[in-house]
Amino acid sequence: MAKISASMVAELRGKTGAGMMDCKKALTETDGNIDDAVDFLRKKGLSAAAKKSGRIAAEGIIVSAGSGNVGVVAEINAETDFVAKNDAFCGFAAGVAQVVAENAPADIDALNGLAFPETGRTVAEELTYQISTIGENINIRRFARCQVESGVVEAYIHAGGKIGVLVELKTDSDNAAVAATARQLAMHVAAASPQYLCREEVPVAVVEKEKEIMRVKAQESGKPDNIIEKIIGGQINKFFGEICLLEQAFVIDPDQKINKVLAALGKEIGAEVTLAGYERYQLGEGIEKRADDFAAEVAALTK
């Protein structure tokens, strides 16, 4: 058995971009033969995956899974929109959402250790395999899973995977109107992008900052103080109506607010209906994208 030196590990890592421990294992398995070790890593889907993992992945897809009282949305990122439409990538994303729906992992670390469907690999191993096969960095960025004991969780994907929404309705009724309303509300969330469920969730600092802006504007218009406070009272209610889901005007029927829609539904089916929560993901939000584009990068490589 050949002695595996640090320089051999470094050389293999430079050729493949794989992790130090993976390189050491590959060299041990191949009796120190660098070329065989490269092939070993390629077969394991590890070669070049580490190099790709440093590249920015801001494109991708948002997918959903689950039905009935369980729903999942997950964001899986890739480097280019082209890969985001790739069947293998989309299949991987759907598989991740399925694993989340069935196993309810607490976080990404817990998800990574779970079995990926029909592969014999873990989610982390399947991710590495897909990176090596597809040729781009891929990242499981986030997921949300909602479940109710009694009620409906509706998942909705908009614009071909650019926006994903979960809406959680709690009720003791299994009336079909509940599921239909849940879907309409999910579409509303996709379109209206509420920041909070209700006004009680809005941080005090956010409310006070908004009031101060309103106050300064009113003072600059020359309004007296007693009138200013009345103006602020009306404007802050309008502010809540813009950012709080329960107080927003329903996009399907703007004459009704969401809380009134739920009250009417409850009266119709003879059971209370509570909008317990929601999630809204927009693809790539918060990710700093590169200033250059993929076409320019390809052109630069051909010069």
Tokens of 271: 């059971």
For residues 271-297, average pLDDT: 78
What pLDDT does residue 76 have? Answer: 96
What pLDDT does residue 14 have? Answer: 67
Q: At what angle do helices 225-243 and 204-220 cross, to 10 degrees?
A: 130
What pLDDT does residue 47 have? Answer: 57
pLDDT in tens, 21-61: 888 888 999 999 988 888 787 767 665 555 555 566 679 99
CA atoms of 244 and 240, how far apart (whole Å):
5
- 108 has pLDDT over 80: yes
Same fold, 6-47 and 59-196+278-296: no
- 188 has pLDDT over 90: yes
Strand partners, 280: 165
What pLDDT does residue 297 have? Answer: 45
For residues 144-152, average pLDDT: 96
70-78 β-sheet, strand order: 59-65, 70-78, 139-147
C-alpha distances out from residue 155 to 101, 164, 180, 296, Å: 12, 7, 12, 37
What pLDDT does residue 34 have? Answer: 86
For residues 262-277, average pLDDT: 97
Name the average pLDDT for the chain: 88
Domains of the chain, residue spans: 6-47, 59-196+278-296
More confident residue, 45 or 170: 170
More confident residue, 303 or 117: 117
pLDDT in tens, 175-187: 999 999 999 999 9
Tokens of 183: 């879907």
Angle at 187 between CA 183 and CA 189, to 5 degrees: 115
- Lowest mean pLDDT, pick from 82-86, 115-119, 286-290: 286-290
151-158 β-sheet, strand order: 151-158, 163-170, 274-282
CB atoms within 10 A of CB 177: 12
CATH class of 59-196+278-296: alpha beta
- 221 has pLDDT over 60: yes
What pLDDT does residue 223 have? Answer: 84
CB atoms within 10 A of CB 225: 9
Q: How confident is the model at residue 288 (pLDDT cuts 50, 70, 90)?
A: low
More confident residue, 24 or 189: 189
What kind of fold does domain 6-47 have according to CATH?
A: Helicase, Ruva Protein; domain 3 (1.10.8)
What pLDDT does residue 224 have? Answer: 86
- Lowest mean pLDDT, pick from 41-45, 136-140, 252-256, 284-288: 41-45
Q: How confident is the model at residue 302 (pLDDT cuts 50, 70, 90)?
A: very low
More confident residue, 288 or 236: 236
What does pTM read for this prediction?
A: 0.76
Q: Helix, strand, or coil here: 94?
A: helix
What pLDDT does residue 49 have? Answer: 55
- 291 has pLDDT over 60: no
Tokens of 132: 């090596």
For residues 113-118, average pLDDT: 96
